[in-house]
Amino acid sequence: MKITKLYARQVLDSRGNPTVEVEAYFNNYLGRAIVPSGASTGKHEAIELRDGRKEYLGKSVMRAVNNVNKIIAREIKDVEFLNQRAIDDLLIKLDGTPNKSKLGANAILGVSMAVCRLAASVKHKQLYEYIGELSGNKNFRIPIPFANIINGGKHSGSSLKMQEFMIAPVKAKSFKDAARMVSETYHILKGLIKEKYGTLAINVGDEGGFAPPLKTPEEALELITEAIKKAGYKGKIKISMDPAASEFYDGNNYVLDKSYTREEMLNYYSYLLKKYDIYSIEDPFEQDDYEGFKRLSELAKNKLIIGDDLLVTNPERINYAIQHKLCNGLLLKVNQIGTVTEAIHAAKLAIDAKWKVMVSHRSGETEDTFIADLAVGIGCGHIKIGAPCRSDRVSKYNQLLRIEENKIKYGF
């Protein structure tokens, strides 16, 4: 079966920046997808093509849109679309660069996801079922949500240098339960922040979490610990952090309230891990600080140390990290690598190495809920979807609530 029409347009993401939407048709069947976009992007990620012209302050994506409509649309008509690998191989070949900089990872991913949706719908399958088929997984799981309820770094205007402070309802019985636990804790945190820092402090950052004027990570961790306790979920909700350390690395040191060496950061993390009920830390060191990752992984054996900017969902970097024991978890972002097939392959490498995989949104999201189905389909048990606030984040919660009605188990 061949695609009868492929069409891209420019739409807006959750920050009001342009992004690519793609529609793939087979007669009356439609698969549609919108591409997300990061702010604290890793330097090894696939390239998102932006026009750099006057419109949208340089951020328009018409070159990527035209690449879909003029180049990919012509070539894709010869390829069987029920074969996702063949579609993605074509996209990779048409681009021909190692980082998808010719056609743009935003053009390529839009097509890859839209075709995946189209195939699911032609086969009368749920998207997660079809992704399960593509990845060879039958053990569907509703993932535990990692909800970023205090936003710092590049995602907010607050002075907090570390980027994300999340809660994870690890002991919830179902996703329905998890959504309730996250929402209640979020609202209790809102009250605590209002009491301590005033009403202005309850404004939210890019991922729907609060962005109060905090200076140190401890202040954020104290607030969250208190909110969890007050909500009655002590021991049932754990804390998770994404410092996104590449963003506060100055080339020599990590600059927080003062300058920290790698050694000092290691000590600092050990102290935080002892003091707070922390389940995972993502990007504790900058993207090429292999030594930092390795040392923390050795030091905190029972914790999940996740690579995001470190790995950029890239099989080569993942293999290197597995070999050198740099971490034990993969943050899976489809737009870092650019096709569904490559993202599934990346997840498999990590799963085979007995790592955990956490599917993730970007700080610039849309109403597209693809990642919810992806997490269920590959059965990875973890998903990072922001706070239960703003529709770009809530849409993922709601999709998981829908999927759970198909009697799929929740958790790891």
Angle between helices 105-122 and 84-95 (to 10 degrees): 160
Nearer to Zn ion, 48 or 242 (CB): 242
Tokens 């950052």, residue?
205
β-strand partners of 384: 146, 360
286 binds ligand PGA (CB under 6 A): no
Nearer to ligand PGA, 155 or 262 (CB): 155
Verify whether residue 365 is a known catalytic residue: no
244 binds ligand PGA (CB under 6 A): yes
Q: How many helices (H) and strands (E) does the chain have?
A: 14, 13
Nearer to ligand PGA, 6 or 385 (CB): 385
CB of 69 to ligand PGA, least distance (A): 27
Cα end-to-end span (Å), the chain: 37
Verify whether residue 21 is a known catalytic residue: no
Nearer to Zn ion, 60 or 151 (CB): 151
242 binds ligand PGA (CB under 6 A): yes
What is the enclosing helix (H) or strand (E) of 391?
Answer: helix 391-404
Size of the site for Zn ion (CB under 5 A): 5
How do 356-360 and 238-242 pair as beta strands? unpaired
CB of 242 to ligand PGA, least distance (A): 5
Q: Which of residues 290-349 bind ligand PGA (CB under 6 A)?
A: 308
Binding to Zn ion by CB under 5 A, coded x per residue (else -) over 236-255, reads: ------x-x-----------
β-strand partners of 108: none
Q: Which of 21, 207, 247, 282 is catalytic?
A: 207
Contacts 24+ apart (CB under 8 A), 311-315: 311/346, 312/42, 312/44, 312/45, 312/46, 312/287, 312/336, 312/337, 313/337, 313/342, 313/343, 313/346, 314/44, 314/346, 315/342, 315/345, 315/346, 315/349
- Segment contacting Zn ion by CB under 5 A, of 43-51, 172-180, 305-313, 390-398: 305-313
What is the enclosing helix (H) or strand (E) of 279?
Answer: strand 278-282
Nearer to ligand PGA, 43 or 173 (CB): 43
Binding to Zn ion by CB under 5 A, coded x per residue (else -) over 263-292, reads: -------------------xx---------
362 binds ligand PGA (CB under 6 A): yes
Query: What is the 3-state secondary structure of 180-199?
Result: HHHHHHHHHHHHHHHHHHCH
Nearest to 310 by CA among 108, 37, 38, 41: 41
**Burial of 6: CB neighbours in 10 Å, binned 0-12, 13-18, 19+:** buried
Binding to ligand PGA by CB under 6 A, coded x per residue (else -) over 36-75, reads: --xxxx----------------------------------
Nearer to ligand PGA, 41 or 399 (CB): 41
392 binds ligand PGA (CB under 6 A): no
106 binds ligand PGA (CB under 6 A): no
**Burial of 213: CB neighbours in 10 Å, binned 0-12, 13-18, 19+:** middle
Q: What are phi and psi of 128, to 5 degrees?
A: -65, -30
CB of 407 to ligand PGA, least distance (A): 31
Q: Which of 333, 356, 384, 396 is catalytic?
A: 333
Binding to ligand PGA by CB under 6 A, coded x per residue (else -) over 14-33, reads: --------------------
For ligand PGA, the binding residues (CB under 6 A) are 38-41, 242, 244, 308, 360, 362-363
Residues acting as catalytic residues: 207, 333
For Zn ion, the binding residues (CB under 5 A) are 242, 244, 282-283, 308
